[in-house]
């Protein structure tokens, strides 16, 4: 019958239109963005919290209604003297499509993590969703530098170099001046600059090395020990002090140990009170989503805003002779 086909066409059109809100939102979740990891929270918890929140919001959006199927159901006709059975065309929902039967439409989302932060530290933490996971691999291969603000306190040493560890030593610190501290920082930075030249594997007398140094792109393109490329004091109020550190291939525990070693060089001791990442490659605090903005709309906007950064990462990848993004399907993805 022509009207049964008309009902089916209308249902298909209506189903497609209503599905766009959820499906189109899901299609936008492909890219790279940054969040602000608070101290005391594991990086895995940050990633999982965002994944759960995004899935919940996707499933709360208007979903396509159940498909309809046409049945010819018997119906009694009592208008005449004798009861007659006639068949009536009826549209009924497909029960397999009901949300109570099939469950939520979105149950998994691939979210990869960039350079990790340990539980005590905070700051810029880069994540990739869907195809954005490839860009995380590109970030690792580019060996970008990262900036931290690291705070310390003179006068004691602990077993884990942090102010929360077991105290193993107490020392005086009144002899420490800002000038003495800055001399120690200059010494450490000088030693690391020499290490950078060694691990960069370029001819130091070549034009290439000179141009890379001028552009600030002189860096190891393979794994190397932690390197401190910049080190300066931004606050000095004994026993407390704060440093701004530019580094690569570091861990947050390495930075805490660095504070401990600075204390030893100054004939005292020191513990680390805070580690905060303020930049990870092209990502800064300005583009990092705080905890209150880990939602679908904010993440979608952040991915859109970070497209120029993604283009920059892709461009750097090409300049270093890597294959294009389309050909990277077989690479391992960091998650």
- Closest-CA residue to 310 (of 138, 189, 178, 166): 138
Q: Is the whole-model pTM more than 0.75?
A: yes
6-10, 99-103, 250-254: least confident range: 6-10
Q: How far apart are CA 332 and CA 321, in angstroms?
A: 18
In the chain the first and final C-alpha atoms are separated, in Å, by: 54
Task: Specify burial of residue 202 (Cβ count, 10 A radius: 0-12, 13-18, 19+).
Answer: middle
Is the Cβ–Cβ distance between 4 and 260 less than 8 Å? no
* pLDDT in the model for residue 91: 73
Banded pLDDT at 102 (limits 50, 70, 90): low
- pLDDT, one tens digit per residue, over 50-94 is 999 999 999 888 666 667 777 767 776 665 555 667 777 777 676
Banded pLDDT at 119 (limits 50, 70, 90): very high
Task: Specify burial of residue 225 (Cβ count, 10 A radius: 0-12, 13-18, 19+).
Answer: exposed
Kindly tell me if the per-residue pLDDT of 335 is higher than 70.
no
Banded pLDDT at 198 (limits 50, 70, 90): confident
Residue percentage of the chain with pLDDT more than 90:
56
Three-class secondary structure of residue 150 per DSSP: strand
What crossing angle do the helices spanning 252-265 and 178-199 adopt, rounded to 10°? 130
Asked, as a colleague might, if the bond just before 239 is cis with ω within 30 of 0, I would say yes
CA distances from 56 to 44, 106, 108, 171 (A): 18, 8, 11, 53
Kindly tell me if the per-residue pLDDT of 246 is higher than 60.
yes
Virtual torsion, Cα 308, 311, 317, 323, nearest 10 deg: 170
Kindly tell me if the per-residue pLDDT of 141 is higher than 80.
yes
Helix %, strand %, coil % for the chain, to 5?
Answer: 40, 25, 30
Tell me if residue 118 is catalytic.
Answer: yes
* pLDDT in the model for residue 113: 96
Kindly tell me if the per-residue pLDDT of 334 is higher than 90.
no
- Closest-CA residue to 163 (of 274, 69, 13): 274
Instruction: Parse the chain into domains and list their residue ranges.
Output: 111-327
Kindly tell me if the per-residue pLDDT of 333 is higher than 50.
no
Average of per-residue pLDDT across 194-201? 77
Kindly tell me if the per-residue pLDDT of 175 is higher than 70.
yes
> Among 11, 48, 118, 280, which one carries the catalytic annotation?
118
- DSSP alpha helix (H) spans, 122-265: 132-142, 178-199, 207-215, 252-265
**Hey, which of 67-76, 217-226, 321-330 has the most confident mean pLDDT?**
217-226
Q: What is the DSSP string of 21-75?
A: HHHHHHHT--EEEEEEEPTTS-HHHHHHHHHHHHHHHHHHSPPPPPPEEEEEEEE
Q: What is the mean pLDDT of the chain?
A: 83
User: Which helix (H) or strand (E) covers residue 91, if one does?
Assistant: strand 84-93
Q: Establish how many alpha carbons lie within 13 A of residue 232's alpha carbon, considering only the half-sphere containing its beta carbon.
A: 4
Kindly tell me if the per-residue pLDDT of 157 is higher than 70.
yes
Average of per-residue pLDDT across 307-311? 90
Q: Which of the pair, 67 or 233, is modelled with greater confidence?
A: 233
| Domain at 111-327, CATH homologous superfamily | Pseudouridine synthase (3.30.2350.10)
Q: How far apart are CA 135 and CA 112, in angstroms?
A: 10
Q: Which of the pair, 10 or 40, is modelled with greater confidence?
A: 40
């Amino acid at each position: 019958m022509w009207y049964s086909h008309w009902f089916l066409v209308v249902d298909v059109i209506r189903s497609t239109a209503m599905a766009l809100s959820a499906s189109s939102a899901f299609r936008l979740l492909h890219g790279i963005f940054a969040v602000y990891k608070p101290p005391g929270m594991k990086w895995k918890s940050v990633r999982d919290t965002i994944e759960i929140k995004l899935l919940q919001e996707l499933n709360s959006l208007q979903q396509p209604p159940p498909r309809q199927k046409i049945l010819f159901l018997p119906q009694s006709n009592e208008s005449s003297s004798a009861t007659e059975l006639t068949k009536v065309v009826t549209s009924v929902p497909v029960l397999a499509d009901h949300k109570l039967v099939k469950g939520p439409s979105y149950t998994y989302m691939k979210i990869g993590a960039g350079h990790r932060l340990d539980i005590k530290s905070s700051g810029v933490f880069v994540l990739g969703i869907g195809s954005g996971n490839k860009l995380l691999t590109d970030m690792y291969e580019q060996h970008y530098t990262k900036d931290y603000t690291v705070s310390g306190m003179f006068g004691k040493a602990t077993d884990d170099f942090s102010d929360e560890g077991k105290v193993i030593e107490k020392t005086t610190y009144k002899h420490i001046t800002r000038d003495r501290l800055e001399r120690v920082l200059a010494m450490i930075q000088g030693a690391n600059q020499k290490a950078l030249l060694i691990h960069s594997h370029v001819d130091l007398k070549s034009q290439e090395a000179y141009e890379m140094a001028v552009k600030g792109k002189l860096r190891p393109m393979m794994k190397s020990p932690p390197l401190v490329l910049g080190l300066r004091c931004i606050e000095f109020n004994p026993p407390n002090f704060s440093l701004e550190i530019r580094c690569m291939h570091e861990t947050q525990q390495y930075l805490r140990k660095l504070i401990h070693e600075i204390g030893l060089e100054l004939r005292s001791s020191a513990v680390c009170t805070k580690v905060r990442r303020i930049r990870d490659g092209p990502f800064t605090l300005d583009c990092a989503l705080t905890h209150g903005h880990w939602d679908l709309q904010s993440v979608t906007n952040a991915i859109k805003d970070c497209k120029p950064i993604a283009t920059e990462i892709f461009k750097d990848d090409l300049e270093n002779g890597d294959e294009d993004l389309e050909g990277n399907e077989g690479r391992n993805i960091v998650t």
